[in-house]
Amino acid sequence: MAGSQGARATEHLKGRHLALLRGVNVGGARTLPMRDLEAAFRAAGATAAAAVIQSGNVVFEADRAEATCAAAAATIRATFGFLPTIVIRSASACRAMVEANPFVAAGAPADVLHVACLAALPDPKVAARLDPNAFLPDEFVAAGADVYLKLPHGVAKANLTNARLDRTFGTVSTMGNWRTVLRLLERLEG
């Protein structure tokens, strides 16, 4: 399970959390109805499980978020035939991520902004070695377990992809556009 690899990206104990399932309901592949996703989380012991958007984001409450996500993933595998990669964020980690976006602070328009959530904290030496000019016109700022992205030509034409981020940072990432991130935070805190 992605959330249990290496150093923890965020706290994963009691409280309200966000589960980000990578690659669900994208391009007709790995189809997972949201009611079934919610049911998998409830069966795993989550309370207040609610899917947000059709891409496999779940706001839930649990005493042990990692164990809940692992059990939900096992249910999805047994029912739908694929094991989803899940990246977990606590409510406080999501709030901190939103508040720390350097591109928002610099006045960049929301429609070019994305954030990649890493499943584990990357080695700081790896992030320090990345050349910020290597992906132009795309820009990035790595901060802990979050990678802020400014993609002026959109995600479809981006040089910075999930696969590239995974290889570079040695962990799993899942990416969302800035408007979706704000919507997820609103649901998480609501």
Where does residue 14 fall: left (phi above 0), alpha (psi -120 to 50 degrees), or beta otherwise? Answer: beta
- Residue 163, phi then psi, degrees to nearest 5: -60, -45
pLDDT of 121 higher than 50: yes
pLDDT in tens, 49-64: 999 987 789 999 999 9
For the segment 115-136, the average pLDDT, to the nearest whole number, is 87
Provide the token pair at 117.
Answer: 């959530």
Tell me: do 85 and 141 sit in the same domain. Answer: no
Could you give the CA distance from residue 59 to residue 78 in angstroms, rounded to a whole number?
22
Q: Give the SS3 label for residue 170.
A: coil
Tell me: do 142 and 154 sit in the same domain. Answer: yes
Q: Residue 124 is part of which domain span?
A: 94-189
Task: From 151, 98, 153, 144, select the one nearest 121 (Cα to Cα).
Answer: 144
pLDDT in tens, 86-106: 999 999 999 999 999 999 999
User: What average pLDDT is seen over the chain?
Assistant: 89
Among the candidates 46, 62, 91, a domain finishes at 91
Number of domains in the chain: 2
pLDDT in tens, 6-45: 333 444 456 899 999 998 877 677 889 999 999 999 999 9
Token pair 């899917």 in the structure block, residue: 51
Strand partners, 88: 19
Q: Give the SS3 label for residue 168.
A: helix
Among the candidates 74, 91, 108, a domain finishes at 91
Task: Check residue 6 and give its pLDDT.
Answer: 33
